[in-house]
Chain A
Amino acid sequence: MRERLNHIGQQLVMRPKRIAPLVTFRILFGALMAFGAIRFMLQGWVEKLYGEPVFFFKYPGFQWVPVLDTPGMYAVYMAMAIGALLIMLGLWYRVGAVLFFLTFTYAELTDLTNYLNHYYLVMLLSLWLIFLPAHRRFSLDVWRKPQWKKTHVPAWCIHMLMAQLAIVYFYAGVAKLQPDWLLRAMPLAVWLPEHANLPVLGRLFALPDLPFLFSWFGAFYDLTIPFWLLWRPSRPLAYAAVVVFHALTGILFNIGLFPLIMISSTLIFFPARSHERWLRNLGYAAGEYKHVYQIPASAKKAIYTFLGLYLAVQLLLPLRHWLYPGSVLWTEEGYRFSWRVMVVEKNGHATFYVEDPATGRRSEVDHQVYLTDFQAKQLAIQPDFMLQFARFLRREYQRQHNITNARITVDSYVSLNGRPSQRFIDPDIDLASSKNTWRHRDWIHPLTQP
């Protein structure tokens, strides 16, 4: 038994595999990310997201991350684009990968408002690229230093990316196994009719059964696509499904580069000979000889441990919401980093109040003074945003009005997936005195409508 496990481990982790899938991944990922960074700048989002706000919501543990001024943020995005190009070209590859990872992660850490699951995915993939020898073939680094050329890499270099993508899909599918998605076709029943004016297909989107078809197919697709991609007989059809599925979601929803990221990344599931065939058109010479990227024997144990830990974290993190009572879609406790994509249509409004404990004077807060409309929209539906904002308000009223320990309360209502609104937060709780911890926030009113 133990021997058999060892054998499987050897097959999945250490066995040499041809490098071509990794090369394709590097080139497409680099190209897409460079395009993404440039697009971000051209859309004017640097000004919008970093220049306009005066207050930024932070990730827990990263409150210290400063936001640069607009020219500074432009420099960050330029560096990001350069890092991505270096990845694509395989030129000073590790430098490029580190540069991209750091600039991208920094940009994400500046404002939690802009959190997107696919940004998190990009961050993880680029973290992996730092460690993967994806530049050891068909790269400018190898052109500079031919002795770097390798034809084979340890299998984990490719399997890890497959595992990462499979986890994204699978958990996105698991997140859809809930009554709103399956029995009420929410939120697709709200989102699809918005496209009823599209030419040709438009009429379809107003059909009442279509959201159900999309919901059920979407859940089935997400849950099983990794397996169809792994299984050789179904792979071509499965990849066709990947292209159609992501193209469709790309047309229907405002999800930026995500469809392209998935369409290009899932090519990793194809065997090396397919990649070699495609890359040959670009001048890639399939190798007859074998230069295996060697891992020192002493590092093997560390690699096993790290891979095991990483996978464990990735597999458990999306399940942490089970540690909290109530619906994760409502409380958002354990919501992020869990591949819960497209399952929520939330609409809320929150009015904050400041009270001076010394005089009893009370004031409503005009949040427009501090927040952009988009930040305010996120604030209204995410409890940890409210805590951060409440603390900010306490400091602000200390500074401007000399009020010590102002009580900050909120009158807030949220409507989830087409339900009527209901009160979201206990209106009597002083948010500025509530701790931002991992514990359940008992001042979130539970969702009462089925």
Chain B
Amino acid sequence: MRTVLFAFALFLCAGLTSCADENGDAVGDPCANDYDQEMLFTSVADNIILPQYRNFRTDVDALGNSTNAFLAAPSTATLDALRQQFSSAWLQWQRVAPFEFGPAESVFLANSLNNFPLDQQALEDNVAAGSWSFDNPSTFDKGFPALDYLLYGLGDTPEAVVAAFTTGAQATGYQAYLDAVVSDIQTRTTQVVDEWENGYRTSFISNTGTAAGTSLSLIINSLNLHYENLRRDKIGIPAGVLTLGFTNPDKVEAPHSRLSLDLAKAGLESSLNYFQGGNSEGIDDLLNYMDAEKDGQSLADLIRDQYALAQTQLNDIDGDLQVAVDQDSDDVQTAYTELQRQIVNLKTDLPSMLCVAITYVDNPSDSD
């Protein structure tokens, strides 16, 4: 018996030393365990995540200053300055929105800053009651969508908005609420960027491997979650794809400032940028390193091409998204279809090729 087992083991060892395919790649290494992941994570952290977060912190601080200036002396001029800062901060938010893991996840950054559509009634109730808390990630009364309403929705003209903050019945309430929303954005953002700068960058870079919780798995999962939300919330729901084609123009991201389409475009560009690692090492390079192919084509190229198609279609949409969903519905539908086509690449092929599990689909019990 011992001899049999020993002989079997010997046979295995002999057979295994030569397990390589015609390209010389180890057949037993479909997950590219020899790839230098730390280089990839360093690139993603230093070329994408940290610079974008720092830009965002700068924008958010500027938003805070403009808010203070407006509250100190409400006028159409200070409102205009504040609106400018608001739109650049919101656009910049789209560039950091995909990084919802680690520090961002622990302060619910995405939910706190950009839950939409806004629950206007909840906001008004908060203002009327004079008390609120932004710590519950599942409320829709805060963040940029709240600012969209406060800065654009309280009146049809800038004068009317200024009036709401100065002479309106709820003027002091709105002032306090505006201040609180902006402060909350600032606090959470500062905390996240601080964490990245003080320690998290280092642990992110050294967290190699393919298991759940490793940096590769965090990147793939956050990329997917962001993309799915972008597709569904920014375009799909307003376009009525989930509601038998009955459109929901009121559910766009920015109904009052009318920035919705720009925000969607920025979000898509940011997703692509995250995938490519900007101009340096990114997930696309890892895919190419592994020779990941689908239907005889490079998977990295397929994904990039699909991003480009979706971008083109988004650019074809005319005017405001909330108008376009009804007036230009063909273009909106086409854009959605192109966004949808990417899902299989990102959600099925990418994790399969890179050997990481989609962890936001968690197995709640045992498996076998």
Query: Which B residues are in CB contact (< 8 Å) with A326?
Result: none
Dominant SS among interface residues on chain B: loop
Residue contact A193 to B349, C-beta cutoff 8 Å: no
* 21 contacts across the A-B interface (CB closer than 8 A): A43-B365, A185-B27, A190-B355, A193-B210, A194-B211, A194-B212, A195-B211, A197-B211, A213-B13, A213-B16, A228-B1, A233-B1, A254-B367, A258-B368, A349-B347, A351-B340, A363-B241, A374-B364, A415-B352, A418-B352, A420-B349
Please, how many angstroms separate the alpha-carbon atoms of A366 and B211 in the complex? Answer: 29
CB within 8 Å for A189 and B30 given contacts A194-B210, A228-B1: yes
Residue contact A212 to B236, C-beta cutoff 8 Å: no
Q: Which of A45, A211, A255 contacts B364 (CB 8 A)?
A: A45
Residue contact A210 to B33, C-beta cutoff 8 Å: no
Residue contact B367 to A255, C-beta cutoff 8 Å: yes
Query: Which B residues are in CB contact (< 8 Å) with A374?
Result: 361-364
Residue contact B366 to A258, C-beta cutoff 8 Å: yes
Residue contact B12 to A373, C-beta cutoff 8 Å: no
Please, how many angstroms separate the alpha-carbon atoms of A195 and B213 in the complex? Answer: 12
Please, how many angstroms separate the alpha-carbon atoms of A148 and B30 in the complex? Answer: 60
Residue contact A421 to B348, C-beta cutoff 8 Å: yes
Please, how many angstroms separate the alpha-carbon atoms of A351 and B245 in the complex? Answer: 16
Query: Which A residues are in CB contact (< 8 Å) with B364?
Result: 45, 48-49, 372, 374
Interface size class of B (residues with CB under 8 A): 35 or more
Dominant SS among interface residues on chain A: mixed
B117 interfacial contact with A, CB 8 Å: no
Residue contact B347 to A418, C-beta cutoff 8 Å: no
Query: Which A residues are in CB contact (< 8 Å) with B33?
Result: 193, 196, 206, 208
Interface residues of A (CB under 8 A from B): 40, 43, 45, 48-49, 114, 116-118, 183-186, 189-190, 193-197, 206, 208-213, 216-217, 220, 228, 231, 233-234, 237, 253-258, 341-342, 345, 347-349, 351, 354, 356, 361-366, 372-374, 376-377, 401, 413-415, 418-421
**A-B CB contacts (within 8 Å), total count:** 161
Q: For window 201-235 of chain B, which residues contact chain A by CB distance below 8 Å?
A: 208-212, 214, 232
B31 interfacial contact with A, CB 8 Å: yes
Q: Which of A196, A255, A348 has the most CB of B within 10 A?
A: A196
Please, how many angstroms separate the alpha-carbon atoms of A257 and B365 in the complex? Answer: 11
Q: Which residue of B lies closest to A374 (CB)?
A: B364
Q: 14 additional contacts, CB 8 Å, given A208-B26, A414-B348?
A: A48-B364, A212-B19, A237-B5, A258-B368, A341-B368, A347-B351, A364-B236, A365-B242, A373-B361, A374-B361, A415-B349, A418-B352, A420-B349, A421-B352
Q: For window 295-346 of chain B, which residues contact chain A by CB distance below 8 Å?
A: 295, 299, 340, 343-344
Residue contact B244 to A363, C-beta cutoff 8 Å: yes
Query: Which B residues are in CB contact (< 8 Å) with A258?
Result: 366, 368
